[in-house]
Amino acid sequence: MTPPGRAGIVKRSLVIAGHRTSVSLEEPFWEALKEMAAARGISIARAVAAIDETRGEQNLSSAIRVAVLAYVRSAPRG
């Protein structure tokens, strides 16, 4: 896990709906997105595609952050 205060923006390219797109997120969000996708048995690209399909007018990076936050909040604590 990335230490707080060391969360620089990381830009990665993904293919979503047949189009190559770049997404910029802080490293902790990339880490949590990877965990979320693995828990669902899908690739990061597929997870982002699912978020993209439901985001409406929201910026894709913001939509990913919101989805990751919802995933983290729904995880059992213990």
Asked if the structure places residue 70 within a domain, the reply is yes
Give me the amino acid identity at 4: P
Q: What is the pTM of this model?
A: 0.86
Asked if the structure places residue 14 within a domain, the reply is yes
Largest CA distance in the chain: 40
Asked if the structure places residue 48 within a domain, the reply is yes
Q: Is residue 49 within 8 Å of residue 17, measured between CB atoms? A: yes
Q: Is the dihedral of CA 39, 41, 47, 50 positive or negative?
A: negative
For 21-38, b where at least 16 C-beta lie within 10 A, e where not — what string? eebebbebbbbbbeebbe
Mean pLDDT, rounded, for 11-34: 96
Asked if the structure places residue 29 within a domain, the reply is no
Asked if the structure places residue 5 within a domain, the reply is no
- Total domains, the chain: 1
Per-residue pLDDT band at 1 (split at 50, 70, 90) = low
Note down the domain range covering 53: 10-24+34-74
Q: What mean pLDDT, rounded, does the chain reach?
A: 91
pLDDT score for 2: 52
Lowest mean pLDDT among 33-37, 38-42, 67-71, 72-76: 72-76
Asked if the structure places residue 2 within a domain, the reply is no
